[in-house]
Structure formats: C-alpha cells, structure tokens
C-alpha cells in the first residue's frame, strides 16, 4: 500500500499550490500582476501540474545543430534505425512483461516477481524514500537529454524550436521542447522520423554511457579509492546481528568469512550463500582443553532433533560436538560446552579430524546448532573476529557494504556509493524512457514515429491517405491498450498486494 504520510504530504502540497493560484487569479487587486508575473517567467499552473518554458537555450540548440553537419546526419540517421527497431522491440518487451505480471498474479512464488523486465515505480512503495533524490535527478536528466535530441534534430532539419521547458506532474519531473508545427508538417517523413526518433536514441546513448561509467568506476577512482582488498562497511542496521560492541562498525574492512575470502561486496553475499548451503565448518582445537558435557549437564535434543549441551543460557558459551579421541574408530560423538571465542580464536578450519593431522593432539570440533543455523567468524582486521550465530541471510542484510576503500583518511566512504547508485538509476530510467517512448501509443513519441514510418513506407502500397491514417489509428489503439494494461496491472501489483 502507498504510505499514508507520503500521500497526505503530496496532496496537501498540491492543494496549497492550487488554492494560492485560485485566490490570486480571483483577486481584483493581484490578478493582473500575478498573471503577468506567470507569463513573464513562462510558468503555467493546473491541478497536479506545473510547467516552465523558456527560450534561453535556443541559441545553444542552434549552435549544437551547426556542429559538423555530416556527422550529425549520420548520428540522427543511426537514431532513425534504432527508433524503428526500438518501436518493434518495445512491443515485444511489453507483451513479455504483461505475461510475467499475469504469472506473478496467479502464483505465490516470490521469485517470479524479481523476473519482471519492467516494473512500475511508485515512490515510497517500491522505491525507498531515502533514494528519492537519485530517482528524481536521474529522471530529470534523462528527460533533458531526451528533449535535447529532439531540439537539435529539429533545427538540423530546419524546423524552428519555439522553446524548451520542464514540468512536474504530481511528483514526477520531466522536460519538453515546443516545435513549430507548420515547419514540421512541410518536411519529408524520413526527416520527421529523424526528429521523432532522436529522443529515444539519446536516451539509449545516455543509458550506454552511464553503464560504461559504472563499469569503469573502479578505474576512474583508482587514484583515491582501492578495490579488491575487501568489503568496506558503510552502514550497520541498529539492533541487527552485526550491531554491538564486538560487532561491525562503519569503516570496518571485512576480508574473510570463515575460510571464504571477501574481496568486495559481491563476495560477501556469495560467501554467506555458500556457507548456508555447506555443512557447518569445524575447528582444530587441542583435545586436552575439551571439557565433556557432564560439566554442564547431560546433552539433550532440541525440537528439530539436533543436540545441545549448554544449559546455562550463556551468551559466551556454545555446544561443540567431536569424535572421542579414544574412540575414533567407533565414530562415537561427544559434546562439550565451551567458551566460544576461546575455542575458535586462531584455530584452523576443518571438516574431519584428518584435517587437523593424523598424529596431532588436536581434534575437529563442530558447533552443534539448529538446522539452517550457522556459526560464522567474520574477519575485519585489526579488530578481533566478529562471531555470528544465526541464519546467514540475517547477517547479509544487517550491513551495507561497498567495494571502494578510501586511500586517504579525509575521503568520504559514501562518495563511490552515491556515484554507483546514481549511475544505476540513470541506466534504469533512461533505458525505461527509451522503451516507453518507443511504444506506438497516443501522446508518446511512438505515435509520431509510427505515423511518419507509415507515411514513408506505405505511400506506394496504400495510396489513400485516410486508409493509412486508419491503419495507424488501430495500431496506436493496440499499443495504447498494451501499455495501459502493463501500467494498470503493474500499479495493482505494487500498491494492492
């Protein structure tokens, strides 16, 4: 469900804006000055929508349109080819997404939801409020680059640009360019296609550029941030399994989970997944230091059938199982309740007594835990190991980690995280704008792309203009219905379930 506080805040903000606008327009004293002020600044207000338009960027657009005309022709011709391919691909993608959404609606399998190619984003629901700034800035940047493509392509085809503007609809920001319609109708369908496809083409290029920067980020930040040396802790969830005086702290560098090396945040998740699948790791300890279970009472079975031998409810003791040194041939197991940190500090890992040496005085002891529970040593030098007992996914989500380790003390830990997160949003949102605007749907770029494409390809096959327009209308109707179905079901899945 949509958070009530967020909904109230948005509604209250728009009501205040609309009320102030209505009062000023109805005032005999301030009406003329207010409307003149709005007009001079290119502002327009309507319910849940505010728009700003200006001509201050027209010279910049004109300058860009004059740079190397031959290269621009090839650039926007490439955009034409991409736009036509994207229009077909977007339909296929929406059909696939609709099938995935329907499959998710009719099953309780949580994995299917993560397989959706496209998802409706609702701030505060499936978009954390802590990342709203990334979302809105990336969305606005993607919209500006999109409209920059339209403006430069239009001027290159001798179509006048009346102005550029930005808007906010409910909470979503965006941008637009106002083209002179008469000029647009006078040029050929191929020229129109270059203009209409320029927006999605520039979104695709921005998506690829952001993706390249994302992969090259370790190289670009190499002089000031190291990678491949461990996973740096940037946040510890308060009250989690990693919190506490002997837990992890912001700035700690995790290098190992048991005998699984951690070179980055991906290794952290991979090691925890591996440790949750394999049997519990054992530790080589001197046999002389073991205290049989009778020192703390007889071992007893838990409800899941596993054995426990610590009945003192101590937070520092743990039950270990091992094969009696005198009865290794019989495989008889003994249990000992021992101080856990003393037992495992500086000891080698093992799976059997043979790993500790055949003639060694050490035995392989294994923590006797409940099913799915694991004992894990987390190495974060120079501090002593953090000892964790519990379900490994609980530890995975108890901390936030980054691959980037500052080389200098004055550098902020979160700077690479900010850059990574922003680039990921640019990739997602710019790519999504390229897909959605390519759909042959009313009021989107796909409508004008389809009309121009039909005029360029069907003029010799279907000579009657009205018939071509009728074909275009039904294709647009089908595309609009497909997009509307995806949005409606996507919103229902996000907000109602």
204-220 pLDDT, tens digit each? 999 999 999 999 999 99
pLDDT of residue 294: 46
Q: Which residue has the higher pLDDT, 281 or 292?
A: 281
- pTM of this prediction exceeds 0.85: yes
For the chain, give the percent of residues with pLDDT over 70. Answer: 93
Q: Quote the DSSP letter at residue 357.
A: -
Alpha-carbon distance 202 to 240, whole Å? 44
Q: Quote the tokens at residue 167.
A: 């808007």
Contact of 248 with 401, CB cutoff 8 Å: no
Sign of the CA dihedral with 45 first, then 179, 173, and 416 last: negative
Alpha-carbon distance 268 to 28, whole Å? 67
Q: Which residue has the higher pLDDT, 327 or 196?
A: 196
438 has a pLDDT exceeding 80: yes
Question: Rounded mean pLDDT of 159-164?
Answer: 96
Active site residues: 147
* Phi-psi domain of 245 (left: phi exceeds 0; alpha: psi -120 through 50; beta: other): alpha
**Total residues belonging to the chain:** 497
How many other CB atoms are found less than 10 A from the CB of residue 274? 14
User: pLDDT band at 359, cuts 50/70/90?
Assistant: low
- Give whole-number Cα distances, 176 to 147, 172, 264, 355, in Å: 6, 13, 41, 68
Contact of 431 with 204, CB cutoff 8 Å: yes
Contacts of 83 (CB under 8 A, 6+ apart): 193, 196, 197, 198, 200, 201, 438, 449
Contact of 199 with 88, CB cutoff 8 Å: no
Q: What is the average pLDDT score of the chain?
A: 90
pLDDT of residue 497: 58
Q: Which residue has the higher pLDDT, 307 or 198?
A: 198
493 has a pLDDT exceeding 70: yes
pLDDT of residue 219: 95
Residue of 489, 471, 467 whose CA lies nearest to 479? 471
Q: Which residue has the higher pLDDT, 199 or 372?
A: 199
464 has a pLDDT exceeding 50: yes
pLDDT of residue 315: 77
Alpha-carbon distance 37 to 44, whole Å? 11
pLDDT of residue 487: 92
pLDDT of residue 235: 93
Q: Any idea which of 74-78, 112-116, 204-208, 312-316 has the lowest mean pLDDT?
A: 112-116
Question: Rounded mean pLDDT of 99-103?
Answer: 87
Alpha-carbon distance 411 to 37, whole Å? 45
- Maximum alpha-carbon separation in the chain: 103
384 has a pLDDT exceeding 60: yes
């Amino acid at each position: 469900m949509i958070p009530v506080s967020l909904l109230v805040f948005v509604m209250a903000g728009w009501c205040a804006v609309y009320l102030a606008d209505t009062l000023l327009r109805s005032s005999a004293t301030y009406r003329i000055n207010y409307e003149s002020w709005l007009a001079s600044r290119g502002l327009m207000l309507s319910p849940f929508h505010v728009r700003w338009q200006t001509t201050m960027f027209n010279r910049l657009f004109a300058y860009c349109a004059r740079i190397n005309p031959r290269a621009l022709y090839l650039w926007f011709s490439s955009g034409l080819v991409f736009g036509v391919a994207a229009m077909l691909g977007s339909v296929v993608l929406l059909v696939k997404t609709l099938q995935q959404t329907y499959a998710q609606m009719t099953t309780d399998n949580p994995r299917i939801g993560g397989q959706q190619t496209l998802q409706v984003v609702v701030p505060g629901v499936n978009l954390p409020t802590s990342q709203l700034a990334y979302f809105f800035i990336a969305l606005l940047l993607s919209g500006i680059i999109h409209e920059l493509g339209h403006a430069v392509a239009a001027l290159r085809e001798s179509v006048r640009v009346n102005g550029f503007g930005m808007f906010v609809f409910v909470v979503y920001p965006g941008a637009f360019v106002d083209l002179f319609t008469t000029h647009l109708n006078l040029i050929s369908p191929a020229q129109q296609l270059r203009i209409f496809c320029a927006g999605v083409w520039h979104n695709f290029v921005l998506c690829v550029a952001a993706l390249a920067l994302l992969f090259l980020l370790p190289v670009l930040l190499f002089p000031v941030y190291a990678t491949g040396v461990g996973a740096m802790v940037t946040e510890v969830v308060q009250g989690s399994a990693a919190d506490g005086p002997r837990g992890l702290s912001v700035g700690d560098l995790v290098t190992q989970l048991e005998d699984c090396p951690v070179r980055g945040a991906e290794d952290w998740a991979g090691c925890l997944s591996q440790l949750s699948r394999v049997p519990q790791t054992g530790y080589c300890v001197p046999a002389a230091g073991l205290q049989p279970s009778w020192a703390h009472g007889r071992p007893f079975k838990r409800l899941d059938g596993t054995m426990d031998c610590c009945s003192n409810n101590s937070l520092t003791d743990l039950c270990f199982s091992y094969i009696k040194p005198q009865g290794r041939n019989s495989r008889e197991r003994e249990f000992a309740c021992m101080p856990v940190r003393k037992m495992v500090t500086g000891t080698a890992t093992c799976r059997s007594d043979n790993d500790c040496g055949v003639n060694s005085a050490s035995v392989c002891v294994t923590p006797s835990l409940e099913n799915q529970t694991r004992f894990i040593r987390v190495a974060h030098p120079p501090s002593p190991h953090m000892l964790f007992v519990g379900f490994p996914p609980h530890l995975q989500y108890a901390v936030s980690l980054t691959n980037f380790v500052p080389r200098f003390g004055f550098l902020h830990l979160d700077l690479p995280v900010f850059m990574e997160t922003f680039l990921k949003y640019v990739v997602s949102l710019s790519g999504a704008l390229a897909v959605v605007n390519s759909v042959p749907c009313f009021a989107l770029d796909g409508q004008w792309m389809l009309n121009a494409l039909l005029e360029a390809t069907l003029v010799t096959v279907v000579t009657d203009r009205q018939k071509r327009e009728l074909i275009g209308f039904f294709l647009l109707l089908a595309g609009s219905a497909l997009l509307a179905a995806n949005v409606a079901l996507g919103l229902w899945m996000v907000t109602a379930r």
